[in-house]
Amino acid sequence: MILEPLSFTADGTSPGGLPGPLLTELTALYASNHEFFALSGDFPDAHHINAEQVATALADELSQPGAEVLLGRSEGRLIGVVVTLAHHPDPADPDPWIGLLLVDARVQRTGLGRQLATTTEERLRSMGRTAVRLAVLDNNPKGLAFWTALGYELLDHREDTQLGRRCAVLRKPL
């Protein structure tokens, strides 16, 4: 598993400054996860996610202070996206956050999601971080099962800072 940071260019190669082939890959990955996006409400129509929406969503993620978008590749193929935040907006929270871990639906349940999460944790550990947090939507029991199977423990239930959705907040020591 290779994680590579996503960066936007200003050369106008596609909406949002992403190279056309990469934006095509990312759009296919996002579109394959219509079940998740139907739960999250992040897109107006989870069954019709387009390139411009994906480019905008990624640009919005990267506009957050300390945010990083990582592309997960296995055997040269884009299999996932991870969004991390160096710090939560709450100054009392010392841990970095995984804001999103999205695996291509065509390869889910093959161990690649676990590998992507583990590689992300190793990256954070190598940066000197001692724990990581994330939030799982309360209406996403599959997501909660995934993260708890990886050793994340429930800390709290609260609303997310963007859309006010109820979430379980989880933490894992690194």
Q: Which domain holds residue 34?
A: 2-173
Q: What is the pLDDT of residues 1-44, one digit of tens each?
A: 999 999 766 554 544 578 889 999 999 999 999 999 999 999 99
Residue 102 phi/psi, 5-degree rounding, is: -125, 125
pLDDT, residue 169, reads 96
| Low pLDDT (below 50) residues in the chain | 12, 14-15
- Structural domain total, the chain: 1
CATH code for the domain of 36: 3.40.630.30
pLDDT, residue 91, reads 80
Q: Which pTM was predicted?
A: 0.91
Q: Which residues contact 48 (CB under 8 A, 6 or more apart)?
A: none
CA–CA distance, 137 with 133 (Å, rounded to integer): 14
CB contact at 8 A, 114 and 103: no
In the chain, what is the straight-line distance between the N-terminal and C-terminal CA atoms, in Å? 19
pLDDT, residue 9, reads 60
CB contact at 8 A, 99 and 134: yes
Which residue, chain included where needed, has tokens 């429930």? 154
- What is the pairing mode between strands 2-5 and 153-159? unpaired
pLDDT, residue 11, reads 53
Q: Which residues contact 30 (CB under 8 A, 6 or more apart)?
A: 37, 49, 53, 54, 57, 81, 102
pLDDT, residue 68, reads 95
CB contact at 8 A, 71 and 84: no
In the numeric block, which tokens belong to residue 163? 């859309």
pLDDT, residue 39, reads 93
In the numeric block, which tokens belong to residue 96? 């970095």
Residue 70 phi/psi, 5-degree rounding, is: -115, 135
